[in-house]
């Protein structure tokens, strides 16, 4: 329940601080006095877009703060789920800076605007005249049916099933599209794999071939160089090994007369053995290296095959080519196994569809029951509201395909005449009839949902007299200890039935024009309603009439 509203530096408002009570309250005031400004401020608490033009001229920011009593509405889960501190007195605050920045707070904790909007819609419902346009939209009508059906749990179950069905449908569509594309590429893929098969890639082959080509291309230089080194090491005249062996023998001969030469002799022997081994290996390699033109041609041809394939596929290594070959093999496998995969996904989609339709059928059943209750309830409301021969039908027809909200199309059909042709409600109802239809729908919704506060902005448009009084009685019945109803009205019959009466008015001073709101005393109510009856000039008859309305 809305306990208080504080507005500062918003449009024509300097500072406004007003408290509200339970039950049915009315707000009156001349056109342009600022009633829409107050609704605009409340709209900011409901997550509406902030416009810096709404900040009062000369101010750096505007602030809107509302206090709600939520102790009776079991909202603890919402606060726990969103990591917010729960308090039976909930405070929503919105600040809009002249720079264009905006901040939202829930119980003095900064919160995303989307979260404030979600909470605000649980606390307060503002029905403005433009909402009457929603009456002919299927989404609004279906929402009304679901609220009366109280099928939230079933809708959640359906939503999960539909999400699974949509996922399997998407997977199947993608698999079919991929299969069609791959089949179009099948000849190309097979041709590429034949080329890879002909070449027969081997890991590390390119590096080995490149080294072999280098060796074969310089075979004579290599062989000549190795032979020369071998001659230096083991030549009969002046070879290193001959001289080293002779030096080692000389040192060995000195061992008996000069002991330090023993270690030197052993070290030279080690060198000799190592060099002898090196010379032997050089000699063998010298024998192995041969100039083989045929082998060089083969190696170069093989390398050219590899290089050509790499250039074709824009890679630099055999490893990358092997990866591409693997990819082609996987694509070919996907093509050959696509039918099995598509069959599997088709079966899954059909299973998910059957589940969707099963839950949708249950949803249709509870909606059908709710539709009959709505039809009965609308007649009970509308007949006393001056439409004695009303026909109101909630038409449920199956959709061609289920959507995210079920398998039902909903259409509200209306006729004010006994034998009139039923047509879409917004197409045939007059402005006054639409107002009465919307009030009746809101009254039924209020009975099904524990919504703390409902604000009607001129719901009485197009009606007057006794019908307006009956509409006021409906709003009066909607307001109780657990719900408050606030009606912004221009009709004295409605204003007189409010438990609390607030007036919006403007004042002019040297600084400019400002809007204000205050709760009227009993005497002030008589005067305000008398003005609503007779206009600017108060007459004795108007005062007496106002007193009679209030007394009644």
pLDDT digits (tens, 9 = 90+) for 345-385: 999 999 999 999 999 999 999 999 999 999 999 999 999 99
- pLDDT at residue number 174: 93
Q: Quote the DSSP letter at residue 55.
A: B
Domain annotation covers residue 269: yes
197, 276: one domain: yes
Domain annotation covers residue 22: yes
191, 314: one domain: yes
313, 230: one domain: yes
What is the CA 342 to chain-centroid distance, rounded? 30
DSSP line for 120-167: HHHHEEEE-GGGGGGGG-HHHHHHHHHHHHT-HHHHHHHHHHHHHHHH
Nearest residue to 412 via CA among 398, 436, 399, 393: 393
Q: What are the residues facing 62 on neighbouring strands?
A: 96
| Vertex 52: Cα angle to 46 and 57 (nearest 5) | 120
Q: What are the residues facing 513 on neighbouring strands?
A: 508
217, 332: one domain: yes
115, 215: one domain: no
Count: domains in the chain: 2
289, 219: one domain: yes
105, 230: one domain: no
204, 114: one domain: no
- pLDDT at residue number 72: 83
C-alpha–C-alpha distance, residues 361 and 372, integer Å: 17
Domain annotation covers residue 145: no
Domain annotation covers residue 161: no
C-alpha–C-alpha distance, residues 118 and 47, integer Å: 8
202, 84: one domain: no
Residue 479, burial from CB neighbour count under 10 angstroms (0-12, 13-18, 19+): buried
Last residue of a domain, one of 303, 336, 369: 336
What is the CA 294 to chain-centroid distance, rounded? 69
- pLDDT at residue number 133: 66
Q: Quote the DSSP letter at residue 483.
A: B
pLDDT per residue as tens, the chain (552 positions): 899 999 999 988 888 999 998 889 999 988 877 888 888 899 999 888 888 888 888 889 999 999 999 988 888 999 999 999 999 999 999 999 988 899 999 999 999 999 999 999 889 988 876 666 677 788 889 999 999 999 999 999 999 999 999 999 999 999 998 888 877 788 888 898 998 988 888 888 888 887 777 777 777 777 778 778 877 888 767 788 888 888 888 888 888 888 888 888 889 889 989 988 988 888 887 777 777 778 778 878 888 888 888 989 999 888 899 999 999 998 888 788 888 889 999 999 999 999 999 999 999 999 999 999 999 999 999 999 999 999 999 999 999 999 999 999 999 999 998 888 899 887 877 888 888 998 999 889 887 877 789 999 888 877 888 898 999 999 988 887 668 999 999 999 999 999 999 999 988 877 778 888 999 999 999 999 999 888 777 888 889 999 998 887
- pLDDT at residue number 128: 76
Last residue of a domain, one of 283, 311, 336: 336
66, 190: one domain: no
Q: Are 462 and 432 in contact (CB under 8 A)?
A: yes
Tracing tokens 């080294």 back to the chain, one arrives at 211
203, 324: one domain: yes
- Both tokens of 92, joined, read 């929503």
88, 199: one domain: no
Which range marks the domain in which residue 290 is found?
186-336
Domain annotation covers residue 287: yes
Q: What is the CATH number of the domain that holds 62?
A: 3.40.50.300
C-alpha–C-alpha distance, residues 329 and 323, integer Å: 10
C-alpha–C-alpha distance, residues 360 and 404, integer Å: 10
| Vertex 187: Cα angle to 321 and 322 (nearest 5) | 10
Last residue of a domain, one of 290, 321, 336: 336
C-alpha–C-alpha distance, residues 106 and 89, integer Å: 11
Domain annotation covers residue 401: no
Domain annotation covers residue 428: no
Q: How many residues does the chain have?
A: 552
Domain annotation covers residue 202: yes
- Both tokens of 319, joined, read 């490893």
């Amino acid at each position: 329940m809305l306990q208080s509203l504080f507005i500062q530096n918003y449009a024509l408002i300097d500072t406004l601080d007003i408290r509200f009570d339970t039950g049915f309250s009315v707000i009156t005031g001349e056109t342009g006095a600022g009633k829409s400004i107050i609704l605009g401020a409340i709209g900011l608490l409901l997550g509406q877009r902030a416009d810096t033009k709404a900040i009062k001229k000369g101010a750096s920011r505007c602030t809107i703060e509302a206090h709600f009593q939520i102790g009776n509405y079991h909202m603890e889960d919402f606060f726990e789920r969103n990591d917010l501190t729960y308090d039976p007195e909930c405070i929503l605050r919105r600040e809009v800076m002249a720079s264009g920045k905006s901040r939202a707070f829930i119980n003095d904790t900064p919160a995303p605007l989307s979260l404030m909007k979600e909470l605000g819609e649980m606390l307060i419902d503002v029905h403005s005249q433009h909402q009457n346009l929603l009456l002919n939209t299927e989404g609004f009508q279906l929402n009304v049916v679901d609220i009366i059906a109280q099928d939230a749990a079933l809708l959640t179950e359906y939503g999960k099933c539909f999400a699974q069905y949509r996922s399997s449908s998407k997977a199947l569509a993608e698999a079919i599209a991929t299969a069609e594309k791959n089949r179009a590429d099948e000849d190309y893929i097979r041709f590429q794999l034949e080329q890879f098969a002909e070449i027969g890639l081997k890991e590390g082959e390119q590096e080995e071939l490149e080294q072999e080509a280098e060796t074969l291309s310089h075979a004579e230089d290599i062989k000549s160089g190795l032979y020369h080194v071998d001659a230096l090491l083991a030549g009969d005249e002046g070879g290193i090994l001959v001289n080293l062996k002779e030096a080692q023998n000389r040192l060995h001969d000195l061992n008996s007369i000069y002991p330090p030469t023993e270690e030197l002799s052993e070290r030279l022997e080690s060198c000799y053995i190592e060099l002898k081994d090196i010379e032997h290996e050089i000699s063998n390699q010298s024998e192995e290296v041969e100039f083989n033109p045929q082998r060089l041609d083969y190696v170069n041809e093989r390398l050219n095959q590899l290089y050509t394939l790499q250039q074709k596929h824009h890679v630099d290594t055999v490893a990358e080519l092997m990866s591409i070959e693997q990819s082609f093999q996987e694509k070919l496998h996907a093509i050959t196994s696509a039918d099995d995969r598509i069959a599997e996904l088709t079966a899954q989609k059909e299973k998910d569809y059957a589940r969707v339709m099963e839950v949708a059928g249950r949803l249709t059943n509870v909606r059908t029951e709710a539709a009959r209750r709505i039809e009965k309830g609308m007649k009970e409301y509308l007949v006393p509201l001056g439409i004695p021969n009303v026909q109101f039908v909630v038409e449920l027809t199956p959709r061609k395909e289920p959507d995210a909200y079920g398998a039902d199309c909903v259409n509200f059909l209306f006729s004010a005449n006994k034998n009139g042709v039923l047509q879409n409600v917004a197409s045939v109802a007059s402005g006054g009839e639409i107002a009465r239809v919307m009030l009746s729908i809101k009254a039924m919704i209020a009975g099904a949902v524990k919504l703390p506060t409902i604000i009607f902005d001129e719901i009485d448009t197009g009606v007057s007299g006794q019908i307006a009084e009956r509409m006021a009685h409906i709003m009066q019945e909607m307001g109780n200890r657990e719900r408050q109803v606030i009606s912004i009205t221009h009709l004295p019959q409605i204003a007189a039935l409010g438990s609390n009466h607030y007036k919006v008015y403007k004042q002019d001073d040297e600084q400019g024009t400002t809007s204000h709101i205050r709760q009227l005393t009993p005497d002030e109510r008589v005067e305000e309603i008398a003005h609503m009856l007779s206009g600017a000039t108060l007459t004795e008859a108007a005062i007496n009439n106002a007193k009679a309305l209030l007394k009644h």
